[in-house]
């Protein structure tokens, strides 16, 4: 997953680097009445003494609106949506929130597909489509005048106020994979403002926030310095490394450290974290939303038959291969969750398409032992945890094996390659129950040995290779997909 993510991120940066800011979302400030109402509810939350405990996970429903053209083309695919759900679950566990898909809704309308005038067309798009029991996510091709899909505004959202409108988050299809816009927009949804200030356009304005006014200016939080925002003509700023190349001081001589890696900054491609004060602010926003009357989050989760034959094994490239048998016909795909073996903090690491029965976890640390579980993306019920098998044995095998199996996973033809050219080998392939499916004798060639697995069902297989010259027997695992 990590590799994929980085590639996607880089392609977005490569496209935009130094030319255009692409996270141009500015949430409407609350009006006076809305702010008053927010303050009353926030005060009630704090006065109750019942702060949000992140160990009591709340599953919030998402109604996913996929907007496509009049001819029904161009809409987002479900795998990408599950990647999106996985990503928001990963970050919002910090406030004890996970998400599930309560409903899919398809909107075929070219005007909304390229949402040129959100201020007028958003409500038309949402009419008859909004759910009053879920967060409404609208995926469109472009927002405002950004015909070019991966430029310009990537999404926008609303601060908490007591109206169905504030449950909408509009995202560009382009922002779904390998980009932090969705996380940023949910930040607004839970009440966070930007760490940059529209009135701050250059480094000369960096003293706008100080200890006496930090609870009022910009985002109203004191642990995030006002940053200079979208001004990428800023000197000393290296967008590739997300750092200032020189020390910058404000006019009082203090070192100026804008939170360029903050999720609510405007430093696209650098956003990766929330500070603790933001986490607390979002818990407050969540509590305030719980007190609103014009909507709630009561949409129900789907009952999905649990998958069986759950298995996690390591391949010779040190990836963990997760496989399962899909027993359901109503799941919208699975969210894969992972925890360290001695922890119960499961973190979403990816999503699959419906009916998929394999997930490859490439982002593993070989010093750690993991456990996994699956949750249908339309359900709030995670399945049982299951463990990585044979961790030690396979680690050793990776170091000592004389052979390389490719591709991983294997599609039709499995190639076994080794440097013992000319040696005669006894090759046995058996399934996970030990049943021998292929037993053959072949000589190692320069290009390796090909074995046809096309008639095999998907899943892990054991390959035993006996070198008849040296007598050495080795066992490897292959995954058929």
List of residues contacting Zn ion (CB under 5 A) = 25
Can you tell me whether residue 328 is helix, strand or coil?
coil
CA distance 475 to 229: 56
Closest contact distance (angstroms) between CB of 383 and Zn ion is 35
If one counts every other C-beta atom within 10 angstroms of the C-beta of residue 95, the result is: 22
**Closer CB to Zn ion, residue 175 or residue 316?**
175
CA distance 139 to 153: 13
Bridge-partner residues for 417, per DSSP?
Answer: 404
**Closer CB to Zn ion, residue 172 or residue 314?**
172
Closest contact distance (angstroms) between CB of 119 and Zn ion is 16
CB 370, CB 320: distance < 8 Å: yes
Assign residue 18 a region (left: φ > 0; alpha: ψ between -120 and 50; beta: otherwise).
left
Closest contact distance (angstroms) between CB of 179 and Zn ion is 13
**Closer CB to Zn ion, residue 74 or residue 152?**
152
**Closer CB to Zn ion, residue 180 or residue 286?**
180
Closest contact distance (angstroms) between CB of 285 and Zn ion is 14
Closest contact distance (angstroms) between CB of 24 and Zn ion is 8
Can you tell me whether residue 88 is helix, strand or coil?
helix
**Closer CB to Zn ion, residue 286 or residue 429?**
286
Residues 6+ apart with CB under 8 A from 441: 424, 425, 426, 427, 468
CA distance 234 to 75: 37
**Closer CB to Zn ion, residue 260 or residue 479?**
260
Closest contact distance (angstroms) between CB of 156 and Zn ion is 7
Angle (nearest 5°) at CA 240 between 238 and 246: 20
**Closer CB to Zn ion, residue 25 or residue 425?**
25
Return the residue nearest Zn ion (CB atom).
Answer: 25
CA distance 49 to 287: 12
Q: What is the dihedral of CA 359, 363, 369, 372, to 10 degrees?
A: -30
Closest contact distance (angstroms) between CB of 184 and Zn ion is 5
């Amino acid at each position: 997953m990590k590799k994929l993510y980085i590639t996607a991120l880089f392609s977005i940066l490569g496209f935009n680097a130094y030319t255009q800011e692409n996270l141009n979302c500015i949430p409407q400030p609350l009006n006076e009445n809305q702010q008053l109402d927010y303050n009353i509810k926030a005060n009630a939350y704090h006065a109750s003494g019942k702060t949000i405990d992140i160990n009591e996970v709340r599953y919030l429903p998402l109604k996913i609106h996929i907007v496509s053209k009049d001819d029904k083309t161009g809409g987002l695919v479900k795998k990408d949506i599950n990647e999106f759900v996985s990503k928001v679950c990963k970050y919002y566990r910090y406030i004890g929130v996970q998400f599930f898909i309560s409903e899919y809704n398809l909107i075929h309308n070219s005007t909304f597909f390229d949402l040129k005038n959100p201020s007028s067309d958003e409500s038309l798009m949402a009419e008859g489509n909004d759910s009053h029991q879920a967060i409404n996510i609208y995926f469109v091709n472009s927002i405002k005048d950004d015909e070019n899909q991966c430029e310009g505004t990537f999404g926008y959202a609303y601060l908490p106020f007591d109206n169905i409108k504030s449950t909408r988050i509009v995202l560009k299809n382009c922002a779904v994979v390998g980009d932090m816009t969705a996380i940023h927009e949910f930040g607004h949804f839970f009440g966070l403002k930007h760490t940059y200030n529209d009135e701050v356009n250059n480094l000369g304005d960096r003293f706008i926030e100080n200890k006496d006014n930090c609870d009022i200016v910009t985002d109203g939080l004191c642990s995030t310095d006002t940053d200079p925002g979208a001004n990428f003509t800023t000197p000393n700023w290296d967008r590739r490394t997300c750092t200032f190349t020189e020390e910058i001081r404000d006019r009082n001589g203090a070192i100026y450290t804008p939170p360029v890696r903050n999720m609510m900054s405007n430093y696209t491609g650098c956003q990766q974290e929330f500070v603790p004060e933001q986490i607390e602010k979002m818990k407050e926003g969540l509590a305030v939303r719980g007190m609103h009357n014009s909507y709630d989050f009561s949409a129900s989760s789907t009952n999905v038959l649990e998958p069986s034959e759950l298995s996690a094994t390591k391949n010779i490239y040190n990836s963990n291969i997760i496989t399962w048998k899909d027993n359901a016909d109503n799941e919208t795909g699975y969210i894969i969750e992972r925890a360290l073996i001695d922890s119960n903090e499961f973190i979403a690491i990816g999503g699959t398409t419906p009916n998929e029965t394999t997930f490859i976890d490439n982002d593993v640390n070989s010093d750690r032992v993991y456990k996994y579980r699956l949750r249908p993306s339309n359900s709030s019920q995670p399945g049982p945890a299951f463990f990585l098998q044979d961790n030690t044995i396979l680690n050793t095998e990776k170091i000592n094996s004389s052979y390389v199996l490719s591709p991983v996973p294997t599609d039709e033809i499995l190639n076994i390659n080794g440097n013992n050219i000319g040696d005669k080998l006894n090759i046995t392939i058996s399934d996970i129950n030990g049943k021998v499916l292929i037993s053959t004798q072949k000589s190692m060639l320069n290009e390796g040995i090909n074995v046809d697995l096309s008639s095999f069902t998907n899943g892990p297989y054991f390959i035993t290779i006996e070198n008849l010259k040296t007598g050495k027997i080795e066992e490897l695992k292959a995954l058929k997909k």
